[in-house]
């Protein structure tokens, strides 16, 4: 088990480092400007504006079908942003990131076939809280 955990940690450290660094820079700028206390939609709008300003490619409110035995279900997932065509960014304005948010982005990764998601929480006490979530093929 320890070896598997270490492998996932190493992979998280290596997967799309330049893109992740650029996204985190945009997130810190939004947090510096707005601070905590706004609703999630405010942070999404500000983050999108910051991404545009920095020339980072993204799509907002991206819908993905959930397949069952190759057929789409009548349910789908909508993630906040897909950046660079390969990184999901889920924005939050909550007390703290929990296992619920982690499970949410893991589901997004499974549905999309992508490998990396960032959870950015703008309402944690006195800081921008963030998590990198990697879905490996193992």
| pLDDT value of residue 125 | 79
| pLDDT value of residue 45 | 98
| pLDDT value of residue 138 | 59
Q: What is the pLDDT along the chain (138 residues), one digit of tens a residue?
A: 444 444 555 544 579 999 999 999 999 999 999 999 999 999 999 999 999 999 999 999 999 999 999 999 998 999 999 999 999 999 999 999 999 999 999 999 999 999 999 999 999 878 999 999 999 875
DSSP string covering the chain: -HHHHHHHHHHHHHSSHHHHHHHHHHHHHHHHHH-S-S-HHHHHHHHHHHHHHHT--EEEEEEEEEEETTEEEEEEEEEEEEETTTEEEEEE-SSS--HHHHHHHHHHHHHHT--EEEEEETTSTTS-EEEEEE----
């Amino acid at each position: 088990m320890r070896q598997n955990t270490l492998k996932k940690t190493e992979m998280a450290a290596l997967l799309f480092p330049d893109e992740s660094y650029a996204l985190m820079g945009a997130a810190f700028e939004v947090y510096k400007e707005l601070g905590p206390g706004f609703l999630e939609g405010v942070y999404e709008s500000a983050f999108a504006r910051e991404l545009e300003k920095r020339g980072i490619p993204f799509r907002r409110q991206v819908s993905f079908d959930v397949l069952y035995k190759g057929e789409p279900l009548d349910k789908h997932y909508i993630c906040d942003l897909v950046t660079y065509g390969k990184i999901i960014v889920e924005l939050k304005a909550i007390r703290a990131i929990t296992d619920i948010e982690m499970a949410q982005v893991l589901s997004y990764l499974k549905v999309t076939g992508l490998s990396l998601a960032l959870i950015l929480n703008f309402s944690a006490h006195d800081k921008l809280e963030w998590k990198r979530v990697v879905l490996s093929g193992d």
